[in-house]
Structure 1
Amino acid sequence: MDLGVISVRYARALLKSATEQKIEEQVYKDMASLAECYMEVPELRSSIDNPMLSGEKKMHLLTTALGNNPQELSKRFVVLVMKEDRENALQFMANSYITLYRQQKNITRGKLTTASAVSAATEQKMKQMVEAKTQGTVEFTTEVDPTIIGGFILEYDTYRMDASVKSKLNNILVELKK
């Protein structure tokens, strides 16, 4: 069976259970922590995939990756996944849960890239603009990238507004070459 299909099925079941218990937001934080650990600590995947590592040690690693004070449901979910020998798909299950939760709660991810740090008020204004456009909640991140020289790049969903000085200069250069 396809790894993606399996991951989504497990994630749906977890979301349904979490919603029934009214703890879907806390489980979302647990799954986000787990997904982040997989991204930031590449050794986690190789450790979980290692057949020589005992199930108890894998369980300890995964429970730690769930973050501080994880929900009992999240821990039981990891136990179930381990029992079914599906731990190699756990990263995908966590990411699928995150995606399903965001769809259910109408949450959009947004990103603002600027040449230098912006004030909290400016960041909040951009976030409110995106929320007004999407009619939902926005998980907003900011990034400083001096290579864009000035201006900003705003991204959310499939939308991208590039108002950076670098892109403007590149456009002028392209026009001059014609």
Structure 2
Amino acid sequence: MARTQGSHSDITGPRIRKAALGLFARHGYAAVSMRQIAAEVGVQAGALYNYTPDKQSLLFRLMNEHMQDLLSAYGELGRHADASEALRQFVGFHIRFHLERPDEVFIAYMELRNLTPENFADIEGLRRSYENALEAILRQGQEAGLFDITDTKIATLAVIAMLNGVMTWYRAGGRLSLDEVERIYWDMVRKSVSA
């Protein structure tokens, strides 16, 4: 099959993913057609299949890339031996990483239900890896007597849910700076787990 005139795989592929990301975030995966994605990119609908087998594969790729980027960026951070400092670092990292990617975050949480069982299992495994990193910090603090936590798994999920809330309301140029928001959230997380 001939490539669409003016189409370049290193340009069109990323444009398709960017268009799909924006459309899925605004309208929801189920409401978006491949034709809409093609129109957003400015290519014929059939041309999309040169870059992705179907809409499900596109959704999975977006989610997978987001989770891989998250795990990679977190993995590049230096680790603190002190659990309290490690938790403070996690709080700041989570807020700042996710605020830069609101569409990716929305899709990563709201569109899980639209994944096939196999794709869901893959994404859930990546999410669990990230959650496990936080749970390891909480366990370390618990064992050192720094944190008083009844159930580290529930605490992990509660902390992540609290931090994810920032993405729904924070706006640059608002009443609080990002540094202030990070300090306030760190104070709330610290108090919620402190012994």
TM-score in terms of structure 2 length: 0.30
TM-score in terms of structure 1 length: 0.32
Higher strand share: 1
Higher helix share: 2
